[in-house]
Amino acid sequence: MPQGKKNIVTGLLVMSGFMAYGFLLIYLRDFAPDKAAWIADYADGKHFEARLAHVHGNLFALLNIMIGYLVLRLPISAFSARWVSWLGILGLLMPLGILAEFTLGAPPYFVLIGGIAMLASIAWLGLAIWKSNIPLTNA
């Protein structure tokens, strides 16, 4: 599979999962039998982390789609393309780590690893594009 394609595929699949998770959160807030208790605790603890995971899951999925598209379309080195791609996918550990923290009691290491990996991926991609011979203007 070409570098970048796996980011697009992974990003779209992860995004669909976190979108479905968003529908669960809407159900819990608006339609569940104990919705009053959910609303009362909406800004605290597990409820806050649930929304944080949903938002970051969709953001990081979208970033993977963007990373994949740019890696496929722009003439960056194969070395950079491979690392940017894999670091982007590794970045998905952040929202998955947030879910694991409040559902399984996992330590925050996955959140940190994922956040650092995504930051490194985006920064590396920016530097790779800057160093490439791509004209960034139409002139």
Contacts of 92 (CB under 8 A, 6+ apart): 10, 14, 57, 60, 61, 64, 114
Cα–Cα distances in Å, from 49 out to 25, 29, 38, 46? 11, 14, 13, 5
**Within a domain: residue 100?**
yes
**Within a domain: residue 116?**
yes
**Within a domain: residue 86?**
yes
**Within a domain: residue 136?**
no
Q: What is the pTM of this model?
A: 0.89
**Within a domain: residue 14?**
yes
pLDDT, residue 138, reads 64
- What's the one-letter identity of residue 109? Y
Tell me the residue range of the domain where 41 lies.
Answer: 5-130
**Within a domain: residue 102?**
yes
**Within a domain: residue 138?**
no
pLDDT digits (tens, 9 = 90+) for 63-121: 999 999 999 999 999 999 999 999 999 999 999 999 999 889 999 999 999 999 999 99
Look at the chain and report how many structural domains it folds into.
1
Instruction: Give yes or no for residue 31 having a pLDDT over 70.
Output: yes
**Within a domain: residue 72?**
yes
